[in-house]
Structure 1
Amino acid sequence: MDWLFPFAVMVSLVLCLMGLGLPVAFAFFATNIAGLYLFFGGSVGVAQMIANFSDAVATYALTPLPLFLVMGSLFFRSGLGDGVIRALDLCIGGLRARLSYVVLAAGAVFSALSGSSIANTGMMGALMVPEMLKRGYKPRMAFGPVLGAGSLAVIIPPSTLAVLLGSLAQIDVGALLIAGAIPGLLLTLMFAALIFVQTLIDPESAPQYATERPARGAALKAVAVNIVPMGVIVFLVVGTIILGIATPTESAALGCAGVLGLLLAYRKFRWSVLWEALDDAMKVTGMTFLIISASTTFSQVFAFSGASAGFINTIVGFDPGPYTFLLLMILVIIILGMFMDQVSMMLITLPIFLPIAMHFQFDLVWFGLILLLTYEIGFTSPPFGLLLFIMLGVAPKGTSLSTVALAAAPYIACTLFLILLIILFPKIALFLPGLL
């Protein structure tokens, strides 16, 4: 059991430091330094950690990350999303709970244009929740669809979390991005069915009210003007990868160029918007690269100390079967998701889970997508789900965390059901990557 001491030191120290409120990157750096002195030769190990920095971030697979961040920030800061919401509202018409469907459809579109769950939830919550509550929607019908739609950005390409996971786990980033398209569409349809069932069981949860019928052709014109151009951006990002025309990096650059073209076409381009988008991307990219540098050294120390191999050999020795292990991994991530953000969970679990997945010869794209969906659940898991607190920020004063969490619970159940479907029918995840 020589591996148990380094395993316990590394894992418990990083968890304790994050529990004390230390930023993720600094918690990992502090743990790395302690591990390097204990297991890696002291100052020689620290010098090796510093040398790792450039190698860790100078990875071509990471290049789409800042580009996708710029694209999403340009889209949200420019106000292009307002036209999409108006067009979808005209299309859905007088359907019961129409605003819930508008939120869901707009969230799916925005996910394909931004890759950011936080931005999705913040924008949709601020725009739609006050209107829905004013119309008499019950909290679960106002908060739930926004939280569900926000979480779609984790798997619908271009997902920034998928780029980060692919880079850390050395999974084909393009394949992982494309793998989320069909599950993302399925999850959107599940959420729509959930809204329908909720209104069927409790019609008063979303009171129906008279809506103005749009003039003939107005809905068609709104779609042509506001939604079809967004479809071009989606093709530039996703379609070019599927067709083999562009790499993920090239498709991200095409997406940025496409959004800039739309800003010019709609006369929404301002230098201040461009500067703010670049500033947003720089801040997030800088912190992400710092975290990746820390994670790379953490994985190396973990392996060099024997903790990784010892843990895997011990666990595999129980031999409960590959799918039992997979379910245990999902359970661990769900529990961690109640207390940690997605990047922290990724950094802690990947060095442990990835070798086990490789031992059982799991398809890494399939396995990566299951991890992404499980990480997504953490966004809306109480007590520390990030999207829950974003929703509390836009909800009326006095709204409790339990109210928001209960609204999110059925959407979490839908995600768990989708994970089960992907485990039983891997082609759901692997069909599109197989076309690459």
Structure 2
Amino acid sequence: MDWVWLFIIILSSLIFLLLLGVPVAFAFLSVSILFSYIFWGADIGLTQLILSIFRSVASFSLLPLPLFLLMGEIMFLFGIAQQMMGTLEKWMGRLPGRLSLLAVMGGVIFATLSGSSMAGCAMLGQTLLPEMEKRGYKHQITLGPIMGCGTLAAMIPPSALGVLLACLAQISVGDFLLSIIGPGLLMAALFAVYIIIRCILQPSLAPQYEVERMSLRVKLILSVKYLLPLSLVIVSVIGLIVLGVATPTEAAATGAVVCFILAFCYKGFRGDILKKSIVSSVKITVMMFMILSAAQAFSQLLAYTGASSNLVMIATKSQLHPMVLFILMQFILVILGTFMEPASMLMVALPIYMPVIRQLGIDPLVFGAVLLINMEMATISPPDGLVLYTMKAVAPQYSMTDIYKDSIPFVIIDIIAMATIMIFPDISLFLPSLAKG
């Protein structure tokens, strides 16, 4: 049978299972098992599938993943992250839209603790939205920043989704984590500029209110108590990787130990919270390992049908400029993102995209950074972005129409960020180059 028909049949089977509501990892594994049996038979096919699954998870590159997740769980459940947010607010002064700007800074903080945009949105919404409403902020300047800044979760290391992408794309985890720092900070800066400009042009959206005056000494004491610990976590993870002192796995282990020490200093030994942190991290790790193993099996299936190699050949022989193909790939991901969550998008796209990207000579680090922004943008894109529904759950008093409208400016900002990185790839490549000396 022609490879095109095989590709269509396999992809249609996968989409059918996803539409039925089958969990993503099980849908991919089911398709892989079925077609492995058809192509190679029970003995060879299923044996090859098992070996493929084992190789996909028996990787040293994956070791940072559970440690990064554990760091976030400890900081959240012990209440350290919330204390950091309160301290940051003291430094905001009377800036226009100060609480919305706090959402940007909070998004960066939560990004260092969690790799989930939905978790980031939920945490920011629960923490900031009641205070915003109390101060008379309009939904046009509250919902958008919370949703948009929640998507920073994947763009600021340690990023669990970034580790997953690097492993699936077979690129250096350390280099990739460094390559997304610049794009993540660019997004945060663009969000902040938009909020300030809009609040200056439409001051009624974020009314000024009396701010409690606090001496510099008190602010510094609070910063040492609650912000300095965050810098210790960042230095223990990102700093060690940048300086070449530790591998991502060693840096993740160091970061986890630092988080344990901080939690003990703030709250003392709390066995119940510690147990909850570990159990939650293990559950998420198992889920992501299942996704990874299913993606690897699916990738081998596509390679066997000839779909991967033929798509590469079509792309390289086409008259389209590599940048045009790059943009088309991103557009397809936007469509996928309307009904799939980021990890699922990675599973579908990377086995097809990465051979093409390498053949076209596009730097995988730049492609990966743009891909992450695109996937996070998809989660806030109407009509079915997952963060939109998270926002609705956090703020049921607002209509979906309001949520859709308020997300649009941040979708546009994400597009601007992607275009900027494609035009100036050094934004992504500077830190990996610096780390290599």
TM-score range, shorter-chain basis?
over 0.9
- Tell me, what secondary structure is at the counterpart of 1:245? coil
Q: 8 Å contact 1:165–1:346 — kept in the other structure?
A: yes
Moved more, 152-161 or 375-384: 375-384
Moved more, 160-169 or 292-301: 292-301
- 1:232 maps to which residue? 232
- 1:242 maps to which residue? 242
- 2:349 maps to which residue? 349
Q: 8 Å contact 1:75–1:114 — kept in the other structure?
A: no
Shift of 1:237: 0.8
- Tell me, what secondary structure is at the counterpart of 1:266? helix
Matching residue's letter, 2:119: A
- Tell me, what secondary structure is at the counterpart of 2:384? coil
Matching residue's letter, 1:335: I
Note the 1:148-167 alignment, pairs <5 A: 148-167=148-167
- 1:75 maps to which residue? 75
Note the 1:280-295 alignment, pairs <5 A: 280-295=280-295
Shift of 1:311: 2.5
State, as a whole percentage, how many aligned pairs show the same letter. Answer: 39
Note the 1:360-379 alignment, pairs <5 A: 360-379=360-379
Shift of 1:26: 1.0
Shift of 1:112: 1.8
Matching residue's letter, 1:415: D
> Residues of 1 paired with 2:96 and 2:38: CA distance?
63
> Residues of 1 paired with 2:147 and 2:429: CA distance?
27
Shift of 1:37: 2.9
Shift of 1:305: 1.4
Shift of 1:345: 0.7
Note the 1:141-152 alignment, pairs <5 A: 141-152=141-152
- 1:332 maps to which residue? 332
Q: 8 Å contact 1:72–1:116 — kept in the other structure?
A: no
Q: 8 Å contact 2:96–2:200 — kept in the other structure?
A: no
Matching residue's letter, 1:431: F
Q: 8 Å contact 1:40–1:304 — kept in the other structure?
A: no
> Residues of 1 paired with 2:373 and 2:216: CA distance?
41
- 1:15 maps to which residue? 15
> Residues of 1 paired with 2:108 and 2:3: CA distance?
45
Note the 1:270-281 alignment, pairs <5 A: 270-281=270-281
- Tell me, what secondary structure is at the counterpart of 2:208? coil
> Residues of 2 paired with 1:379 and 1:407: CA distance?
14
Shift of 1:270: 1.0
Matching residue's letter, 2:154: V
- 2:421 maps to which residue? 422
Shift of 1:43: 4.4
Shift of 1:400: 1.8
- Tell me, what secondary structure is at the counterpart of 2:2? coil
Matching residue's letter, 1:228: L
Note the 1:166-315 alignment, pairs <5 A: 166-315=166-315
- 2:52 maps to which residue? 52
- Tell me, what secondary structure is at the counterpart of 1:339? coil
Note the 1:87-98 alignment, pairs <5 A: 87-98=87-98
Shift of 1:315: 3.5
Q: 8 Å contact 2:316–2:360 — kept in the other structure?
A: no
Q: 8 Å contact 1:3–1:305 — kept in the other structure?
A: yes
> Residues of 2 paired with 1:319 and 1:25: CA distance?
36
> Residues of 2 paired with 1:122 and 1:424: CA distance?
33
CA RMSD after TM alignment: 1.4
Q: Deviations over 1:16-64 (max 9, x none)?
A: 1111111001110111122213333454212211222221101011111
Shift of 1:322: 0.7
Gaps of 5+ in 1: none
> Residues of 1 paired with 2:209 and 2:157: CA distance?
35
Q: Does residue 65 in structure 1 map to residue 65 in structure 2?
A: yes
Matching residue's letter, 2:427: I
Q: 8 Å contact 1:113–1:233 — kept in the other structure?
A: no
Shift of 1:268: 4.8
Shift of 1:216: 4.2
State the aligned residue count. Answer: 435
> Residues of 2 paired with 1:229 and 1:37: CA distance?
53
> Residues of 2 paired with 1:118 and 1:259: CA distance?
22
Q: 8 Å contact 2:72–2:112 — kept in the other structure?
A: no
- 2:5 maps to which residue? 5
- 1:84 maps to which residue? 84
Q: Deviations over 1:117-176 (max 9, x none)?
A: 232221111111122112211112111111122111111111111000000110111000
Shift of 1:421: 1.0
Matching residue's letter, 2:222: A
Relative to the length of structure 2, the TM-score reads 0.96
